[in-house]
Amino acid sequence: MRIILLGPPGSGKGTQAQLLVQRYGIVQLSTGEMLRAAVAAGTPVGLKAKEIMASGGLVPDEVVVGIISDRIDQPDAKNGFILDGFPRTVPQAEALDDLLKHKHLKLDGVIELRVNESALLNRVETRVAQMRERGEEVRVDDTPEVLTKRLASYRSQTEPLVHYYSERRKLSTIDGMMAINEVTRAIHRQLLALGAVEPKTHGKTSAKSAAKAASVKTGAKKAKTAKKPMKTIKKAAKTTKKAAKKATKKTVKKAAKKTVKKSAKKAAKKLTKKRAKR
C-alpha cells in the first residue's frame, strides 16, 4: 500500500500517518526526516543536499526525489509507505510518477484531509491565548500569523495537486474537521475500497486477543458450572453428617435402654432365686 496524505498545516496528517503505520505495517516518509537521515548517513545524494543547504539554498526537486528513491529501496518500505509533505507541487508529483514507474511500483491512492481554514485559525488563536494566560512560552512557528502564511503557501503551491490527482482518479477527500477516530475510520474505509489489506500479524494479534478473551470467558463459565456440583456435594455431606449423627444418637439410646432392661431382668431373677432358697 503506497499512499500520499494531502492537507494544510493543522489538518492532522501527522497523527493519521502514525495510526496508519501501526495498522498496516508501512513506513511514514517525511521529506524533512529523510533529508536529515541522508545527510547524516553521508550518501551521495545526502552530501549533495548538505552542500546546498549549507549555502542557504533550497534543495532542488531532483535531489529530494533521489533521496526518496534511496529510501523506498530499503527493506522496511517493502510493504508500502505514506508520503507526508511530498509532493508539494505538480512538478514534484510528475517526478514521483516517473520514479515509481521506473521502479515498477504504483501509487494506490491520495487521501486529502479537507479542513476549514477559519476554524483552524480560531483553534490556534485560542490555544496561543490560553498558553499566554498560563505564562507558557509560545513557539514562533505556532502563531495565527505564521499559520496564515503557511495556509496561503499551501493554497498556491499544493492545492493544485488536488486537481492533478483527481484527474488521475487517485484522490479521496475526507472531512478533516471530524473527531480523530472518525477521520481514522473514514480513511480505513477508503483504503479498503482501494484494496488495502491489513498484515497477517495484525490479524493474528487480534485473533490471539479474541482467543484469550474467549478462554477467560470459558474458564469463568467452567468455574461457575463447577461451583454448582460442589454446592450439591457440600449439601449432601451436611445431610449425611446430620443423618449419621441422628442415627448414632438413636443407636446409643437403644443400646442403653437394652442394657438397662437386661440388667434389671438379671437383678430380678437373682432376687427371686435368693427368696426361693430361703
Catalytic sites, residue numbers: 13, 88, 127, 139, 150
**Residue environment code for 158-185, b if the CB has 16+ CB neighbours within 10 A, otherwise e:** beebeebbeeeebbbbbebeeeeeebbe
CB atoms closer than 10 angstroms to residue 236: 10
Q: Whole-angstrom Cα distance, residue 88 to residue 65?
A: 12
End-to-end distance of the chain based on CA atoms, in angstroms? 128
Residues contacting residue 209 through CB under 8 Å, at least 6 positions apart? none
Residue 68 neighbours by CB under 8 Å, 6+ apart = 29, 31, 34, 83, 86, 96, 99
* Residue indicated by cell numbers 484522490: 171
